[in-house]
Amino acid sequence: MYSKKVIQHFTKPHNQGKMKNPDGIGMVGNPVCGDIMKIYIKVKKNTKKKKEIIRDIKFETLGCAAAISTSSMITDLAKGKTLDEAIKITRADVSESLGGLPPIKMHCSNLAADGLKKAIENYRNKK
């Protein structure tokens, strides 16, 4: 049912855990559907180039293998990117990087891009 890549990220998720003093938090999902996701980011400002970069990113997820692996994948995709780059990462980018997701999981469990977006917005709103 799942690609090898999904199973890899599911079994050994990257950047999993809580973050102390994050700069932004994004929480998405729906307990009734069974998937909830929380993305934490730490942002580094590069004043010379006037850029803001995601220095660290972590996640916590309650959900199925698709939900956990997309969370893990988005942390890989977003780490080191500028906020402007990171906010453009789409659901399709995430599922493609994982070698595809079962069609039925595309909607409900592929929430990571939304979670990251919310975390970035949360950071920007604080400023």
Partner 1 sequence: MNKKLIYLDYAATTPVDKKVLKAMLPYFSEKFGNPMSLHSFGEFAKEATQKSRQQIASFLHCNLEEIIFTSGATESNNLAIKGIVKKYFFGKTKNLDTRCSMNKPHIITTVFEHHCVLNSLKFLEKSGQAEVTYLPVYKEGVVRAEDVKKAIKKNTILVSVMYVNNEIGTVQPIEEISKIVKNSREGAKTLYPIFHTDATQAINYFDCNVEKLGVDMLSLSGHKIYGPKGVGALYVRKGTPIEKTQDGGDQEGQKRAGTHNVPGIVGLGEAINQVKSQKSKVKNILSLRNYLIEKVLKEIKDVTLNGSKIKRSPNNANFTFKSVEGESLILMLDQLGIACSTGSACSSGSLKPSHVLMSLGIKTEESHGSIRITLGKYTTKKEMDYAIKTLENVIKKIRTISGDILKEF
Name the site residues for partner 1 (rule: CB under 8 A): 7, 10-11, 13, 16-18, 27, 29, 31-38, 60-68, 104-105, 108-109
Coil, helix or strand for 17? coil
Query: Cβ contacts of residue 67 below 8 Å, gap of 6+?
Result: 29, 35, 37, 61, 109, 111
Output the smallest distance, CB 64 to partner 1, in A. 4
Based on CB atoms, which residue is closest to partner 1, 52 or 69?
Answer: 69
Structure tokens given for 61: 């997820």
64 classed as catalytic: no
Output the smallest distance, CB 124 to partner 1, in A. 21
